[in-house]
Amino acid sequence: MTGTRTAARGQTGKLARKRKYIRRHWPLYLMLIPGLVYMIVFKFLPYYGLQIAFRDYNIFSSTSPLRAITASKWVGMKHLNKLFQSSSFATVLSNTLIINGMRILFLFPLPIIIAILLVEIRRKRYRSLSQTAIYVPYFFSWSIIYGIFSSVLDSFGLVNQLVNSLGFERIPFLTEPNIFRGVLIFTDGWKTLGYNAVIYLAAITGLDPQLYEAARIDGASKWRQIWNITLPGILPTIVMMLILKVGHILDVGWEQVLIFYNPAVYEKADVIQTYVYRIGIGKLNFSQATAMELFNSVVAFILIIGANTVSKKTLHRSIW
């Protein structure tokens, strides 16, 4: 209000105004305190802990695991070099890329198709019932879904009953490395299809009905309407979702793997985070595990920033 005086007084006026704002609205800053404390302790302190990737971390070298960080010997790139030379690094990285690449390839188009088709179902009751049925699994935890599918896929389960009745050998879905990835993809689709479809559904219902009206008058077939109105209309949503998926290709879905997998399928299913868990927490090889995490975090960071840049350029909006 008193802000726009002369240019000479501008700088000091601004400062004074800021000070006045803080003095008047100090409760706002009080409100920020819990969140800031949370971020400093539980988010920024772990960043500090990442340095153990460059040390021979020994948790018992001091009374506190945190003080042990600086008490451990600095070894520079030792662990990162070891990591890049190890064969498990290549395995784990390629598993992560293959499994999550397959997720995108098979599961990305599906909810778009289902959303487009759901709109075409004219019986309202059937539509909302089927939408609910597909949507509910999204709220099941991975443990529950593991419980469901370890039942359906075990030797006496529904699928193997079918396989057996068709005259084939029973298939050990959860312990056969070559099939296990398929199980991961399928169950992921089972959980997330409805949720993702609803996102596209929201975009489709936001489209202008007059466009369809005009197309119908012009004699455009339903297929043409889908191809020329619906798809272009929801393209921004599609692109945005795809960018997000690619941006998170290194760090999604590992909790599912951790719950579903077992030693029999490690070679095909071990992803970055599950590997970090096994060697870090499992074998107490903290430094080696953190080196892996550091690599993962840096690449993920680059991917996400890249994804956001692409999103800004193509869609003119930021993904967060």
Partner 1 sequence: MMSKQHIPAEKRRKRTALMDRSDIEVEVLAYVLVSLCVLLAVIPCIHVVARSFSKGTAVISGMVTLWPINPQIEGYRTVLRETEFLRALGNTLLVTFVGTAASMIASILFAYPLSKTELVGRKFFILLCMIVMVFNGGMVPNYLLMRGLGLLDSFSALIFPALISVFNMLIIKNYFESLPESVLEYAAIDGAGDFRTLVSIVCPLSMPVLATVTLLYAIHYWNNYFNAMLYILDPYKVTLQVFIRNFIADAGTLVNQLERTAETMGNLSTGVIIACATVLGIIPIVALYPFVQRFMLQGITIGSEKG
**Spatial separation of the C-alpha atoms in residues 21 and 10, rounded to whole Å:** 16
Q: Binding partner 1 by CB under 8 A: which of 5, 9, 16, 32?
A: 32
Q: Which is nearer to partner 1, 99 or 275 (CB)?
A: 275
Site for partner 1 in 217-236 (CB under 8 A): 217-224, 226
- Closest separation in Å from C-beta 236 to partner 1: 9
- Where are the extended beta strands (E) located within the chain? 55-56, 73-74
Place of tokens 């990835």: 181
How many residues line the site for partner 1 (CB under 8 A)? 109
Residue 318 found at the interface with partner 1 (CB under 8 A): yes
Which region, judged by CB under 8 A, interacts with partner 1, from 74-82, 85-93, 100-108, 312-320?
Answer: 312-320
- Closest separation in Å from C-beta 100 to partner 1: 16
Place of tokens 């990285």: 93
Residue 161 found at the interface with partner 1 (CB under 8 A): yes
Which region, judged by CB under 8 A, interacts with partner 1, from 70-78, 97-105, 175-183, 279-287?
Answer: 279-287
Q: Binding partner 1 by CB under 8 A: which of 144, 228, 232, 309?
A: 144
Residue 263 found at the interface with partner 1 (CB under 8 A): no
Closest to 49 measured CA to CA, from 275, 289, 252, 274: 289
Q: Binding partner 1 by CB under 8 A: which of 70, 86, 94, 151?
A: 151
Which region, judged by CB under 8 A, interacts with partner 1, from 30-38, 77-85, 87-95, 99-107?
Answer: 30-38
Residue 86 found at the interface with partner 1 (CB under 8 A): no
Element (H, E) at 190: helix 177-205
**Spatial separation of the C-alpha atoms in residues 300 and 75, rounded to whole Å:** 25
Dig out the tokens for 94 from the structure: 């390629």
Range list of H helices, 25-76: 26-39, 45-49, 67-71
Q: Binding partner 1 by CB under 8 A: which of 136, 213, 228, 267?
A: 136
**Spatial separation of the C-alpha atoms in residues 293 and 49, rounded to whole Å:** 11
- Kindly tell me the burial class for residue 287, based on how many C-beta atoms sit within 10 Å of its own C-beta (0-12, 13-18, 19 or more): buried
- Closest separation in Å from C-beta 105 to partner 1: 19
Site for partner 1 in 49-78 (CB under 8 A): 49-50, 52, 59, 64-67, 69
Which region, judged by CB under 8 A, interacts with partner 1, from 72-80, 81-89, 99-107, 191-199?
Answer: 191-199
**Spatial separation of the C-alpha atoms in residues 159 and 172, rounded to whole Å:** 11
Q: Which is nearer to partner 1, 96 or 273 (CB)?
A: 273
Q: Binding partner 1 by CB under 8 A: which of 36, 77, 98, 105?
A: 36
Q: Binding partner 1 by CB under 8 A: which of 9, 283, 301, 309?
A: 301
Site for partner 1 in 8-27 (CB under 8 A): 18, 21-22, 25, 27
Place of tokens 């949370």: 38
Closest to 59 measured CA to CA, from 51, 50, 67, 68: 68
Closest to 68 measured CA to CA, from 58, 82, 77: 58
Residue 150 found at the interface with partner 1 (CB under 8 A): yes
CA angle 91, 268, 274 (to 5 degrees): 70
